[in-house]
Structure 1
Amino acid sequence: MGPVDFDKLVLAPCVSVFGEAMQWLSSAMGAPKPITGIFDEGYKASSLDEASGLTPTYTTSADARVGIRLSDFLPDAPAQGDIFIIRNKQYRVREIQPDSHGGADILLNKADAENGALPYSAARSDSWPSPENY
């Protein structure tokens, strides 16, 4: 770290003012850990490949992410595949982008229905009675 403690002077006040409570579940830990992060689920523009001479085409999509202080996670660190519970919704970590100043931007995918039954699925559940000769 340089002569200025960026984590203490910038990141900590920002997380204190703009952050919200959430839970972090890691496969390396047994129980969820409460943390504070700055959650954003805003829209972002993305351009599609442009063909020569044609007008560029843009689309928008929701992009869930959370800004965190890496020092809040010590001695562990968030990893791809971990779960965050934010506003009673589950998100799985897609990518972690450290900022080289003690913070990171964590890109998330929604994971609420990740292990749920598929709609109109006839999949067998242990709570359903099995037919004879099954």
Structure 2
Amino acid sequence: MGPVDFDKLVLGPCDAVFGEVVTFQSSLLGKAVILSGIFDDGYRAISPLGDLPGQSPTHITGSDARVGVRLSLFPVPPAQGDLLTIRGRVWRIREVQPDSHGGAHIELNAADGENDALSCGTTGGRGQTAVKRN
């Protein structure tokens, strides 16, 4: 890490103010872990044709659920396919985008209608381990 500890000086205080409870389930762990993150389920414009020179953009609007997290709170790195429960809804990790300062934006897909939780047979949130927020 560089001369500034972003996790302690920036990410931690932001998480303390804006963070909310996130339950993390990984196929690498035997039980769910309680941590925190900054959840956003806002709308964004999507250009299905890309940006074509000389043409007006064609946008459709879609939901872009994501959560900002401190990677130091995770007992194992979050990975595509792992599950997060936020505000009572289950989300599957679509993509983890580390920010190179100790945090990451995790893009999510709704998973509350799925039958198969994780390939290791994780308990679905019944066994939980709390992770202390700094």
For the superposition of Structure 1 and Structure 2, which TM-score range results when normalised by the shorter chain? 0.7 to 0.9
Of structures 1 and 2, the one scoring higher in RCO (CA 8 A, sep 6+) is 2
1:53-93 CA distances to partner (integer Å, 9 max, x unpaired)? 5432111100110000000013x111110000111110000
Identify the residue that residue 43 of structure 1 maps to in structure 2.
43
Once residues 109 and 48 of structure 1 are traced to their aligned partners in structure 2, the CA distance between those partners, rounded to angstroms, is 19
1:14-70 CA distances to partner (integer Å, 9 max, x unpaired)? 001000011000000111100000000000111131666543211110011000000
Identify the residue that residue 16 of structure 1 maps to in structure 2.
16
Structure 1 stretches of 4+ moved >3 Å: 50-54
Matches within 5 A, 1:1-134: 1-49=1-49, 54-74=55-75, 76-115=76-115
Note the residue ranges of structure 2 that are not aligned, 5 or more in a row: 117-134
- Distance of aligned partners of 1:53 and 1:13 in 2 relative to their CA distance in 1, 3 Å threshold: closer
Once residues 6 and 14 of structure 2 are traced to their aligned partners in structure 1, the CA distance between those partners, rounded to angstroms, is 11
Note the residue ranges of structure 1 that are not aligned, 5 or more in a row: 117-134
Identical columns (%): 57
Using the size of structure 2 for normalisation, the TM-score is: 0.81
Give the length in aligned residue pairs: 115
Please give the root-mean-square deviation of Cα atoms over the aligned residues, in Å: 1.5
Larger Rg: 1
Using the size of structure 1 for normalisation, the TM-score is: 0.81
- Distance of aligned partners of 1:51 and 1:39 in 2 relative to their CA distance in 1, 3 Å threshold: closer
- Distance of aligned partners of 1:4 and 1:53 in 2 relative to their CA distance in 1, 3 Å threshold: closer
